[in-house]
A and B are shown apart, each in its own frame.
Chain A
């Protein structure tokens, strides 16, 4: 009787679920401790109100962007810690059991999921939020409140994926959780459910955000900015969010079906009763391959801006660049099968998908040549962002070569699921997405702070990263040739793989030094910000986001600029028209709204309660989400007015401040 009541209330949650092995318990405890410390700090410095008003409820995309980046950085550190543990276990091998098989498998599943969903996606959405509205000469995104909801769903997913460190366990089925391993029969615990709901909730956020930015770019560009006058970065974002709109519904449906299999005992993906796991593998990659391009296209865009700016030239072959982006976008939906040539699709099918994969190399190659020729006859200033660009080309070319090798189906049979594959996709994702994000960070940092990051420390960070990267991943290519498959927590010592794993481990350590320099660079630059103060346009840049003050006001542009050419801001500077005092008008901006964070909280509760089968709580929190949305939508006055006089005053202050800085 008593047990039944407990079960009705707590579902399958018991006290034992809070007990963890030492390493995980330590990680979980320190996470909780950090949270508690942050709360104490906020209370002590009386910052709660400030946090709530200025950040948590803000609908300003610049603030939402910063919050995305903060979450992503924390998750990057978690993912990196996971990577260190994995390598450490492989270095120790059978000599000592740092992690047992189960724990090892939880960690690599978490590493992959976190790095893609909460670092990769977080970073690109952060950058979209910060840059896109300003780059297209807009004051805001199309749906400011939806933007806040997207972020809080992302945050909810982030909390769910970290929750297993405190209560329960994480999935052991890898970052894509193929059934039947991820099915009820082989994974009866809560791990896969955590994975499903963390991804499902943040994935819905991503989808909403994708729609939001698509509409923003289509509808809210400054007058005169036709599609072919958009900066390449905006083009890349447009293509990336197009992919999101088409690919993420597939993920939502696939995860939904897996959830039904697991919670309601259905059989979409189990062979019993007519289900088919091969369908899952097809569906998940029909989302998964476009996902790679969702992440990497914005990086291409970032590098296009950076190369043009630091070469003091327009981007070479603008039209080619756009065609290449569009081509990659379309082609990315035609290659998913290359992730499982080994499933027995037959020679004709494999040939088709192999060739389609190679075809993507053509537009990608065109982009590389155009970047190189943007530097040609330029004046290339090798500031940190340019170093990241050079590092990107070097690693991406190596990754491209190994990618083409794997795209030949006959060869993929030898490379698939080996460490060769692991090295390949780290080459692409770290070299592409992360290096792109790092470049973007140092490039656009002064835009939002008014001071630059310390160059010397940035260069140290870069060199440690790039050297560490090759030391960490070259051994994996070799290990792949030696027959080492991915996800091994131990191997026969007589194989002699340990040396290579040690070298790879040294590489991870060098990368960690690089990460240390990055964190130190940020702290040091903030500390010494007085020395690095710069004007609004420190790099003599080309695109509209630099036309606003650095840091920009909440409304971005006091007067919406009119665009006549590509590289609009550069042309404005060139034409050097006499500055008249503009005529300011009233500006309407969205009011803060707490509904976003509330929806996020209830969504997180919903996810957690479904994971633990607390059905009553799931029902309540789901209804609560719906009610919150309804209440918010009935708000008749979501905007507030910033009067023309106030804008004028603000602009004048900004001008004075700038004079003060430059003197």
Chain B
């Protein structure tokens, strides 16, 4: 009897200690996250809102599997522990058609449900898909540089560095490229991220449903100054945006091919700059820069054959297409 008591005491102690540890961890986490901004869940963009809802749905579906599995694991482990000699011991029980069919089947059903959700959501939230809205969209061209973000408003004659002003409830059509190592453009409160790559254009559509300042950042390692590559996205009222555009279009700092070449040099912590855009075709020039097939130095040494030349031009147009329509 005394031995039994000892074991019971030990078990109680174990349960107490482990629950204490669990509570301590949870309390600590709650404490350190209190009052923090959680943009992936506290969303303010049409796309991000839907992504947030989807997170809850998929998480819920997942929990429907995880909780029973873990419960089953611990119940079975506890019941059939070596010390419990009362439990049935049946070493011959090494397969059961019905049971196995059950756990091939149930996950299959879950995956079918998830697959349907995936198909619908992937198409609905495709970053390349234009957003439906009665409001005229704004085009913005994004260029990731070493180590800053350039935003070009080709139709407005404005460009900005390290900040993006957008009107609320207006679809923003972003086309993105890089004039530096590959990067990723991410404003979690508004929409998911998309890569920026040199010589190519990717697309992203987003819309802020509320006036506010949202944090954007670079999500892909791009060299030494990568951690500093953050930018502010300011969603403002339509009138404020129009006013800002007019002011900015008259900025004394100008952006043309020459000043761009300077801007594209490596630098960190450039701060926010507003430019008057002098060259509406700047973005395309940046993308096309990487389409040249003549590497420096090769031109003089090799004689261009007509055939090769043809191929070059063919490749050229091909790349052009894939680049632009990607």
Contacts and interface: CB of A to CB of B under 8 A. Distances in A.
Contact of B80 (A311, A351, A490): A311
Contacts of A470: 25
A350 to B, nearest CB: 5
Interface in A168-186: 172-174, 178, 180-181, 186
A266 B242 CA distance: 48
A361 B111 contact: yes
A315 interface: yes
Given A312-B91, A365-B107, A483-B39, A503 B117 contact: no
Contact of B104 (A362, A374, A482, A488): A362
Interface in B45-75: 48, 50-51, 54-55, 58-59, 62-63, 65-66, 69-70, 72-73
Nearest to B72: A372
B221 interface: yes
B222 interface: yes
Contact of A398 (B66, B203, B226): B66
B257 interface: no
A513 to B, nearest CB: 14
Contacts of B137: none
A414 interface: yes
A375 B88 CA distance: 11
Interface in B303-326: 315, 319, 326
B264 interface: no
Nearest to A359: B111
B184 to A, nearest CB: 6
B33 A417 contact: no
A342 B188 contact: no
A377 B194 contact: no
B94 A376 contact: no
Interface string B198-242: 111011000000000001011111111111001000000000000
B8 interface: no
Contacts of B227: 101, 487-491
B99 interface: yes
A316 B95 contact: yes
B69 A368 contact: yes
Nearest to B226: A487
A274 B290 CA distance: 9
Nearest to A421: B219
Contacts of B104: 320, 362, 366
B89 interface: yes
B95 A416 contact: no
Interface residues of A, number: 104
A656 interface: no
Interface stretch (A72-80, A401-409, A528-536): A401-409
A15 interface: no
Interface stretch (B124-132, B153-161, B248-256, B274-282): B124-132
A405 B62 contact: yes
B182 interface: yes
B114 A377 contact: no
B40 A401 contact: no
Nearest to B28: A503
A411 B69 CA distance: 24
B119 interface: yes
A14 B81 CA distance: 64
Contacts of A369: 69, 99-100, 103
A313 B94 contact: yes
Interface in A491-545: 491-492, 495-497, 499-500, 502-503
A107 to B, nearest CB: 13
Contact of B184 (A366, A372, A416, A491): A416
A173 B182 CA distance: 11
A358 B65 CA distance: 13
A260 B82 CA distance: 60
Nearest to B125: A410
B70 A397 contact: yes
Interface string B73-101: 10011001110000111111111100110
B91 to A, nearest CB: 5
A500 B114 CA distance: 32
18 contacts: A101-B224, A172-B223, A273-B294, A313-B91, A342-B184, A344-B127, A347-B126, A362-B104, A376-B93, A378-B80, A378-B91, A382-B77, A397-B70, A409-B118, A410-B192, A491-B227, A495-B36, A503-B29
Interface of A: 101-102, 105, 172-174, 178, 180-181, 186, 265, 267, 271-274, 277-278, 311-320, 340, 342-344, 346-347, 350-351, 354-355, 358-359, 361-362, 365-366, 368-370, 372-382, 390, 393-394, 397-398, 400-401, 404-405, 407-418, 467, 470-471, 474-475, 478, 480-483, 485-492, 495-497, 499-500, 502-503
